Copies of this chain bind each other. A is one copy, B any other.
Amino acid sequence: MAKKRIIILGGGFAGANTALQLERKLRRRDDVEVVLVSKENYMVFQPMLPEVISGNIGILDTVIPIRRMAPRTQLYLRSVEHVDVKKQQVTLSPGFDSAATVLEYDHLVVTLGNVADFRQMPGLHDHAFPFKNLVHALRLRDHLIRVLSEAAITTDPNLRQQLLTFVIGGGGFSGVEVCAELNDFVRDCARRYFAIDPDEIRVVLVHDGERILNREMPEKLALYAQELLKKRGVEFIFKMRLQTATPEFALLADGERIPTRTLVSSVPSSPNPVVLRLAVPLNRGRIQSDLKMQVEGFDNLWALGDCALIPNPQEDGFCPPTAQFAVRQAKTCAQNIVAAIDGLPQTDFTFSELGKMASLGHRRAIIRMFDAINLHGFLAWLVWRMAYWVKLPGFDRKIKVGMSWLMDIFCGRELVQTGMDKPTSLIEAHYEAGEMVVRRGDSRTGVSIILAGSAEILSEKEGTDPQVVDELGPGDCFGVTEFLEKSEVKNSIRCRETMDIVVYKKQELEPLLLLPEVRRSFENLRMKNEE
């Protein structure tokens, strides 16, 4: 008899926990196999991620390897390219071999979370640091160390001000927690290591509500958090949104420009493209599941987690997209799939939220429990840590993480960069009117292509004021002469109307010049530009 195959798409809380629960229920059975597809081999405990910034916890302590949770599950570290619910097939991106992998399933569990969606906000896409996974956290940390190092040595007061200003967009859980950790980290570093006066540092939180956490927490707790952060030096700008950003400032909806090199922004999200292409009716961009986690009209298709719209069993409306709900949904889902395979009756999902928490750094937190009890300060922080700790899989890991937390009491911050680079060589950038894009004498600038907006070329002869000699628009480029001649920038470029560009580094384009056709086209471009 052929094995039944259950495929789980997505390795977040919902997906990884479904695998874990299936393994428990299928122990000692070899008639069913479980496959999990995930781009990353770990599950992120999102609320701990901000602490990676400050190095308060071990980098790897915020994440749990999926194999550890579900050792007998076949793990595909791939992305999902296509799902065919009629043929019961899933197509995955190629691995080391170059052909795509096609897998057939008996039951399919969809737990693909939302994806970042910056489409309406090119400036934020280009210049804001996202903050969703471990790589983001490590990259932000590396950047903060670099920014402080440069601030300590620069002699340019404008640059110094940009480098020492940190802007966070969004005052929800993630924004507040990132803000708290970032603020602690930069002030602590400044005090301990650098030629920087902590009073020069600005950490600004921009939020559209009239106080932080206005949607998430009762007023009393939120105001406690707000006062605490204020005392630690955080500035708040309320009832305001981030409009866009350029390399040198953040632009607010009211036109205010905050000079900064560090902008962290909560990210607008949209459904995973695979979910959108699924031949299944969507409700508000989410898959409609019932209390059994089953998708309407299918007996072998299940959806849970952030991508599913599931009735909330305790109150009106739907389950919120939180880890607490995902974990319990996973349990129900695993139970029902095994019941379906065995021809047994199915059970409904029941759960009511335990509580909400936000950590505030320096061993402080706020917690709202059972919709009734408020906790704040050190006690809340302790409860929060314990709540995470009991969930760590494996006794050895519990000891290790527990000890490393204890150790933090004695230890200072570590300032080691891990050397995370952006995986792409293509730099996208956004500029506002009047901003300088490249300056005469620059040696590093590459070849830039204008996607939208316009720029002007300035001629700066010695002893005269800069003169506009030409204009550039979408589909035009600059930097070609300097690229071909390996020279410094001759004419400065200034943004005329809000502009988006994409920049190729010189060394990345170099090999293309080996193709005579392409070399000729660059030479033509250069002649055109110089006319």
Interface residues of A (CB under 8 A from B): 40-42, 55, 58-60, 63, 65, 67-68, 71, 74-77, 93-100, 133-135, 138, 145-147, 149-150, 152-154, 156, 159, 162-163, 192-193, 195, 261, 394, 396-397, 399-400, 403-404, 407, 410-412, 414-426, 438-439, 441-445, 449, 451, 474-475, 477, 502, 504, 508, 511-512, 514-518, 520-522, 524-525, 528
Contact = CB atoms under 8 A, between A and B. Distances in A.
A100 to B, nearest CB: 7
B100 A443 contact: yes
A521 B514 contact: no
A442 B156 contact: no
Given A511-B426, A518-B518, A98 B418 contact: no
B443 A94 contact: yes
A98 B444 contact: yes
A524 B515 CA distance: 11
Contacts of A512: 449, 504
A54 to B, nearest CB: 13
A43 to B, nearest CB: 10
Contact of A417 (B40, B412, B520): B40
Given A412-B396, A418-B59, A518-B521, A74 B138 contact: no
Nearest to A476: B515
A525 B517 contact: yes
Contacts of A68: 415
Contacts of A442: 94, 98-99
A475 B412 CA distance: 55
A98 B488 CA distance: 11
Contacts of A145: 41
14 contacts: A40-B419, A59-B60, A74-B195, A75-B152, A96-B147, A96-B163, A98-B441, A134-B418, A400-B411, A418-B418, A424-B425, A449-B514, A515-B521, A515-B525
A443 B159 CA distance: 45
Given A63-B416, A396-B410, A451-B514, 14 more contacts: A40-B417, A59-B59, A75-B153, A77-B150, A96-B150, A98-B438, A99-B442, A399-B407, A399-B411, A400-B404, A420-B420, A425-B425, A449-B514, A518-B518
A442 to B, nearest CB: 4
Contacts of A403: 403-404, 407
Contacts of A76: 149, 153
A193 B394 CA distance: 14
Contact of A426 (B417, B451, B508, B515): B508
A524 B424 CA distance: 27
Contacts of A438: 98
Contacts of A77: 146, 149-150
Nearest to A489: B98
Nearest to A59: B59
B423 A423 contact: yes
A134 B419 contact: yes
A97 B156 contact: yes
Contacts of A397: 411-412
B423 A422 contact: yes
